């Protein structure tokens, strides 16, 4: 019997992604009774909105964040093996009436700040290195909300801004001007100014004809486009989504992190003919795992990668962020999208 993909953002999916890959990406929403639920879509097939339900009412629709954190199969690798978790905070659909509804404004900032507080409270009992967790959102008010919350966890922005309403096609159409006016090098400069540890990056910036639509410097995964990307990044960590198997090897060879929907343990060979390395950061060489290596072995790996990809930080700075449970942000990873991959279903 073959592997069966668990429902996206479920505890089973997130445990699988955490252990099979270098970490996971997950989505959180705020329930009507002030709790956090693991759920991507803003609404259900019935047309009702997630934020209008209590956590108890959503028990068959999504798992709670607290229930996930009660699973040692998830938290132990996160704390001890250098695994990474990207947490996306989802804003409510305006028609839900939550977060200010269609008027949004300061109420949306308050909504996001409350989510940040709840995440902080939930994670506080755990020992998590700075390079093991990042929170981000598409909402342009997110960084303002983050400033209002005293939390040690790293933050970034998802750009271009995808609205909470409309079909996927409509969202992309509305976001097109922002995509065109923000080249990836420009977005990297913005994220540096914001103090973000990394940049979430849509694959369209790197692959396909859309990458040529941007004003400013276009980049890519090969030839001159890759050279421009490497010069512009200077090692700035770039997490790319969604990455299909046919581009995975090329992306990792460019020193980038891949967020993937293809998380099956049965995927052992990539379309290019090479063997898949599902844990390039936490198990970079053969059977040896990052947390099992000594400081000298980790330093040698970091020095080689730093030279290959022209990382800006010195080897000593990189080693200062390196430990059995900590991997510098620059190191390329494979991250499971919504745990074990998107499942394309609407409850």
Q: What are the structural domains, with CATH classification, of the chain? A: 11-337 (3.20.20.190)
pLDDT at position 81: 98
pLDDT at position 175: 72
pLDDT at position 163: 65
> What distance lies between CA 320 and its chain's CA centroid?
23
Show the low-confidence residues of the chain (pLDDT under 50). none
Q: Whole-model pTM? A: 0.95
pLDDT at position 161: 67
Q: Say if strands 23-30 and 36-38 run parallel, antiparallel, or are unpaired.
A: antiparallel
> What distance lies between CA 153 and its chain's CA centroid?
14
């Amino acid at each position: 019997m073959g592997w069966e993909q668990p429902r996206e953002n479920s505890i089973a999916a997130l445990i699988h992604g955490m252990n099979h890959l270098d970490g996971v990406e997950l989505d959180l929403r705020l329930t009507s009774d002030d709790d956090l639920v693991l759920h991507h879509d803003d609404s259900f097939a019935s047309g009702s909105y997630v934020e209008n339900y209590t956590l108890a009412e959503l028990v068959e629709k999504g798992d709670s964040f607290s229930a996930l954190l009660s699973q040692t199969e998830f938290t132990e690798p996160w704390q001890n093996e250098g695994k990474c978790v990207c947490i996306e905070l989802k804003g409510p659909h305006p028609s839900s009436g939550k977060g200010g509804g269609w008027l949004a404004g300061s109420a949306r900032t308050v909504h996001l700040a409350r989510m940040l507080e709840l995440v902080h409270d939930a994670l506080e009992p755990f020992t998590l290195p700075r390079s093991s967790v990042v929170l981000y959102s598409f909402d342009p008010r997110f960084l303002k909300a983050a400033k209002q919350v005293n939390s040690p966890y790293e933050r970034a922005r998802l750009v271009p801004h995808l609205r909470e309403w409309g079909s996927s096609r409509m969202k992309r159409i509305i976001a097109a001007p922002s995509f065109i006016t923000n080249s990836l090098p420009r977005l990297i400069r913005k994220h540096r100014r914001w103090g973000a540890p990394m940049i979430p990056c849509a694959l369209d910036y790197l692959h396909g004809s859309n990458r040529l639509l941007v004003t400013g410097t276009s980049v890519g995964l090969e030839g001159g486009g890759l050279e421009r990307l490497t010069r512009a990044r200077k090692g700035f960590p770039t997490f790319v989504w969604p990455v299909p198997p046919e581009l995975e090897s090329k992306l990792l060879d460019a020193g980038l992190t891949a967020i993937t929907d293809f998380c099956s343990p049965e995927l052992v060979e990539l379309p290019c003919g090479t063997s898949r390395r599902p844990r390039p950061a936490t198990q970079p060489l053969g059977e040896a795992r990052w947390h099992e290596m000594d400081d000298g072995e980790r330093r040698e790996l970091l020095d080689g990668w730093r030279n290959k990809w022209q990382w800006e930080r010195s080897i000593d700075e990189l080693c200062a962020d390196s430990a059995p449970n900590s991997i510098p942000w620059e190191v390329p990873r494979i991250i499971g999208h919504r745990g074990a991959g998107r499942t394309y279903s609407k409850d």
